[in-house]
Amino acid sequence: MWEKAAAGFSAMGSEARLQVLKTLVRAGQAGLTVGEIQSRTGMAPSTLAHHLRFLAAGGVVEQEKSGRTTINRACFDELRSLAQFILSECCADESRKVTNDG
């Protein structure tokens, strides 16, 4: 799980990719075409294509061909898994500290 989590977090590791991902999260399960993402983010097509490839490689975005169009969607299950991974040990040391100090 560490390797998969690292790949997912790495994919989100830039302001531009976070902007693209948040745009796709807002769009929901319907997803967006590259043109729709471009109009919402203002990114140049080549830059956007680069970021989408990076996000897809990290497993946080899926791309589905529909004729000549590519629909991009946030991978909500993977994003939930990453959030759960990072929060799985939330505050675990707090109870330890209270026990050790007490």
CA angle 73, 47, 23 (to 5 degrees): 35
- pTM listed for this prediction: 0.86
| pLDDT given for residue 97 in this prediction | 67
Beta strands in 44-91 (DSSP E): 61-66, 69-74
Count of helices and strands (H, E) across the chain? 6, 3
The tens digit of pLDDT for each residue in 67-87 reads 999 999 999 999 999 999 999
Q: Domain tally for the chain?
A: 1
Bridge partners, 86 (sequence order): none
Q: What is the CATH number of the domain that holds 12?
A: 1.10.10.10
SS3 51: helix
Rounded Cα distance between 3 and 66, Å, is 31
**Count of CB atoms within 10 A of residue 95's CB?**
9
Does 65 have pLDDT greater than 70? yes
Domain region containing 97: 2-101
- The one-character DSSP state at 60 is S
